[in-house]
């Protein structure tokens, strides 16, 4: 004989209540998961926005012929300096920059297109590979903590595929970067850097080819505009009193422009 098992009328409401409670719990759990996912997405977006906020790097060239200027020491440590090798104060300025936790570049003299007084260790297209690379290696010993080199003059040499290839090969051996000062629009430096697997960047704005506060301010604003449009900008200036005093006055206001002043190495790390 079969046995028929059924629910009596009193047990049915209890089962319905159980099913209803389970459905409610599932809905609440789903809602919690969705809230967590939404919060995580918002946090990710906020973090990404912060990482990719407009960034400005500033390099002050031509250090080495004088002690570190006090006005330059007063600038934020994010401001990089570039030192000419074999100058009276090259090692002293490099040591001072290290104490200030300030990054340094080797400001390597290179052959210009037009007649100009040359540094004693200027790299030229007439050099053999051995001479050119030996000259570069010797210059690097004068700026021992350099993270990269950038060209001093160099409008001629930076168009020379062979010479720039030799330079990049040497930089690769030392795990150094290259910053193209862009003294000519015809520069092939970055192409050669890429060919030799050397990270490279380029200058976007010169701050002070006219030495007035008005001009330096105008150029800094151009760099800020470029950074906002493309995410970052690199400006190069020189240790002129008007340049340094103007930067001391204006750089504290960068946050009002939604600009972050960064070390040059920060930009290299993001390539």
- Which pLDDT score, from 0 to 100, does residue 53 have? 81
- Which pLDDT score, from 0 to 100, does residue 7 have? 44
pLDDT, tens digit (0-9, with 9 covering 90-100), for 200-246:
999 999 999 999 999 999 999 999 999 999 999 999 999 999 999 99
Residue 131 φ/ψ, nearest 5 degrees: -65, -45
Averaged pLDDT, 196-200: 98
Q: Does 20 have pLDDT greater than 80?
A: no
Spans of all domains in the chain: 10-51, 55-269
Q: Does 16 have pLDDT greater than 70?
A: no
Averaged pLDDT, 98-120: 96
Q: Does 2 have pLDDT greater than 50?
A: no
- Which pLDDT score, from 0 to 100, does residue 52 have? 61
| Mean confidence (pLDDT) of the chain | 89
pLDDT, tens digit (0-9, with 9 covering 90-100), for 78-99:
999 999 999 999 999 999 999 9
Highest CATH level, class, for 55-269:
alpha beta
Predicted TM-score (pTM) above 0.85: no
């Amino acid at each position: 004989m079969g046995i028929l098992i059924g629910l009596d009328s009193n047990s049915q409401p209890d089962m319905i209540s159980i099913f209803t409670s389970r459905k409610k719990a599932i809905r609440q759990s789903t809602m919690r998961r969705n809230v967590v996912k939404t919060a995580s997405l918002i946090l990710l977006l906020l973090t990404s926005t912060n990482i990719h906020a407009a960034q400005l790097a500033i390099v002050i060239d031509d250090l080495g012929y004088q002690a570190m200027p006090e006005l330059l020491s007063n600038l934020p440590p994010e401001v990089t300096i570039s030192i000419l090798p074999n100058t009276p104060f090259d090692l002293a300025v490099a040591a001072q920059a290290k104490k200030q936790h300030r990054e340094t570049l080797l400001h390597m003299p290179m052959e210009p297109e037009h007649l100009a007084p040359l540094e004693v260790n200027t790299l030229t297209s007439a050099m053999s590979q051995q001479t050119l690379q030996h000259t570069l290696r010797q210059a690097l010993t004068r700026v021992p903590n350099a993270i990269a080199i950038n060209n001093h003059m160099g409008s001629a040499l930076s168009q020379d595929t062979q010479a720039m290839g030799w330079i990049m090969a040497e930089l690769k051996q030392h795990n150094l970067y290259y910053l193209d000062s862009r003294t000519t629009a015809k520069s092939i430096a970055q192409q050669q850097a890429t060919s030799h697997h050397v990270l490279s960047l380029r200058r976007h704005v010169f701050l002070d080819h006219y030495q007035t506060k008005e001009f330096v301010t105008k150029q800094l604003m151009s760099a800020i505009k470029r950074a906002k449009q493309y995410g970052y900008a690199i400006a190069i200036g020189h240790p002129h009193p008007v340049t340094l005093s103007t930067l001391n006055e204006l750089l504290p206001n960068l946050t009002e422009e939604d600009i972050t002043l960064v070390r040059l190495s920060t930009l290299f790390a993001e390539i």
